[in-house]
Structure formats: structure tokens, C-alpha cells
């Protein structure tokens, strides 16, 4: 993976990005070592929506805190996704063109 930040990114933003990558690596290591379940874990459950976090029923083996705020700075700068994981990578591997056909452009 190649990451090339722009000059407009502050050091604090780059530090947050690095911390996120380090955190994700830690989550991967926990799966690889067998410390956490391979199917029901933070990575497989992400992204966690506000509705998921606020629901009465929480049947995950990890805490809501870990799911919603895995990094301390997220308490002040949280982006809540609107949807959780829908179909894993199916949509990435099976693109669908929703544009009109070429016939629509012929005069």
C-alpha cells in the first residue's frame, strides 16, 4: 500500500492516521493469534453505525466502546457511517454500471 498525504495535512492528522493503521494492525494480530474470534470481531463488524451502538441488543464479544471509539481522539472527531457492512467485498468484485446505454447518446 502506498500512502501519499498532501502538504495540507497537519502533523496531528498524519499522527491520527498512523495511530489508526497501528490499531488496525493490532486487531489483525489479535485475529491471527486466535485471541479473538475469526468471524465475530472488530474488523468483521466494522463499520459500526450509531444505531448499532445505541441499540438495546449488543451481542458482540467486544465492547461498544471498542466498536465506537477505538482511538481516544474519536470522542471529539467521530464520523458515524450511515450503514454497516452490507455484502463484504461482493460489490467491489462485481461492479454494476448504472448509466444509460450507448443508444441514449445517438442522435
- Give residue-wise pLDDT tens across range 27-72: 999 999 999 999 999 988 888 999 999 999 999 999 999 999 988 8
What is the pLDDT, as a whole number, of residue 66? 93
4 inside domain = no
> Among the residues of 1-107, which ranges form H helices?
11-33, 42-45, 50-54, 64-68, 90-93
2 inside domain = no
In angstroms, rounded to a whole number, what is the distance separating the alpha carbons of residues 101 and 89? 26
pTM: 0.68
16 inside domain = yes
State how many domains the chain has: 1
Domain that holds residue 48: 11-105
Residue range 77-102: mean pLDDT, rounded = 80
83 inside domain = yes
What is the pLDDT, as a whole number, of residue 102? 79
Amino acid at each position: 500500500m502506498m500512502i501519499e498525504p498532501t502538504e495540507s495535512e497537519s502533523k496531528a492528522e498524519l499522527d491520527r492516521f498512523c495511530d489508526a493503521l497501528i490499531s488496525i494492525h493490532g486487531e489483525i494480530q489479535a485475529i491471527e493469534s486466535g485471541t479473538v474470534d475469526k468471524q465475530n470481531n472488530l474488523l468483521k463488524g466494522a463499520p459500526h453505525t450509531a444505531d448499532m451502538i445505541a441499540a438495546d441488543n449488543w451481542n458482540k464479544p467486544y465492547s461498544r466502546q471498542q466498536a465506537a471509539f477505538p482511538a481516544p481522539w474519536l470522542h471529539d472527531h467521530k464520523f458515524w457511517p450511515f450503514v454497516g457492512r452490507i455484502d463484504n467485498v461482493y460489490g467491489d468484485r462485481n461492479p454494476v454500471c448504472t448509466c444509460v446505454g450507448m443508444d441514449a447518446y445517438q442522435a
